[in-house]
Amino acid sequence: MTNRGKNRNKKARGVPPRVVAALVLGLGGLCVLGLGAVLGARALRSIWHEQCRVGDHELDVVITTGKMVHRDVVTMHFGLTNGANLAEIPFARLRENLLERVPNIRDIRIERRLPNRVTIDITEREPLVRVGLPRSRNGKTGRVADAEGVVFQFSSNTSLLPLVREPAEPATPPGRKLVGNAAAALRLVKAAALPEFSEFQILEVETTHPDHLLVTLRNYDKAMIAWDHMLEDTRLSGESLHRQLKHLTEAMSTHLAPNTTMWNATDFGKEGRIYAGPLPRLGNQ
């Protein structure tokens, strides 16, 4: 028999049965090991999850809130009752839902302490101004806005806050930000709260005039105020507002016009000049 024939016979014999059996047994062993690993991991995961269950609600769950958002609202929203499994609660999604649903909340900080404890810290919005309707309507709406301009409902000790009257209905709903002249009025109130303007105490801001704001002071004097880039929340706008307030308060502090009830700080006459005069008749303001 030639060498070529011998080679053909070797190929025809194929892989020896012992090798095939060893391969089958090896693959079977790997499958068993893999299945065992999966089942073991699941068992360990199940054991770990059980460790994440809330045992004593009063001890394992710490919730800090402010004046308006009740602890029970947070507890029920996240499902943090006895027996709840912290590993199965979608904290991130529920946090976003609560921020959207309750405008009074500015931020929520959640801290997990493994295995079965959680701390939730609620930061509520602090009202800076009351938000009312135009003068022809009742200004008592229960709506307020914080320093960011977000409107929300707040009912505790707000009577002394400056009132910003929106130019027209529909009113800004809770959860939305003030815009236009109402937002400019909020920036005016924030600027006037600086220590250097402590004598400029705002009682109310009318926003119905398109080109200026009409301010009623605590002594019931009035002031028309406008500044460059008034409708923009920018550095240039803030600097212009600061200059205008400085000119106005300096003019008021001279007491050169003791019978003045209307101050004009709009730069409509000459830039930087403050005008003083009697309160104009209704309809000419």
Q: For the segment 210-246, what is each residue's pLDDT rounded down to a tens digit?
A: 999 999 999 899 999 999 999 999 999 999 999 999 9
Q: Is 241 exposed, middle or buried (0-12, 13-18, 19+ CB in 10 A)?
A: buried
Band (pLDDT 50/70/90 cuts) for residue 125 is very high
pLDDT computed for residue 283 by the predictor: 44
Could you tell me which residue, 1 or 230, shows the higher pLDDT? 230
Sequence-distant (6+) residues with CB within 8 A of 18 are none
Q: Which of 159, 162, 145, 234 shows the shortest CA–CA distance to 197?
A: 162
Instruction: For the chain, count helices (H), then strands (E).
Output: 7, 12
Instruction: Kindly state the DSSP code that residue 126 receives in the 8-state scheme.
Output: P
Three-state DSSP at 174 gives coil
Is the overall model pTM greater than 0.85, yes or no? no
Identify whether the C-beta of residue 110 lies closer than 8 Å to the C-beta of residue 86.
Answer: no
Identify whether the C-beta of residue 158 lies closer than 8 Å to the C-beta of residue 152.
Answer: no
Average pLDDT of span 82-91: 91
Q: Average model confidence (pLDDT) for the chain? A: 83
Element (H, E) at 62: strand 61-64
The answer, yes or no, to whether residue 49 has pLDDT greater than 70, is no
Sequence-distant (6+) residues with CB within 8 A of 244 are 225, 226, 227, 265, 267
Tokens read off for 164: 């910003």
Dist. CA 202–CA 89, nearest whole Å: 47
The answer, yes or no, to whether residue 272 has pLDDT greater than 90, is no
DSSP assignment of 140-159, as one string?
A: --SEEE-TT-BEEE--SS-T
Of all residues in the chain, the percent with pLDDT exceeding 90 is: 54
Dist. CA 38–CA 268, nearest whole Å: 78
Torsion of Cα atoms, 165 then 167 then 169 then 172, to 10°: -60
pLDDT computed for residue 284 by the predictor: 40
Sequence-distant (6+) residues with CB within 8 A of 55 are 82, 116
Tokens read off for 135: 């003068």
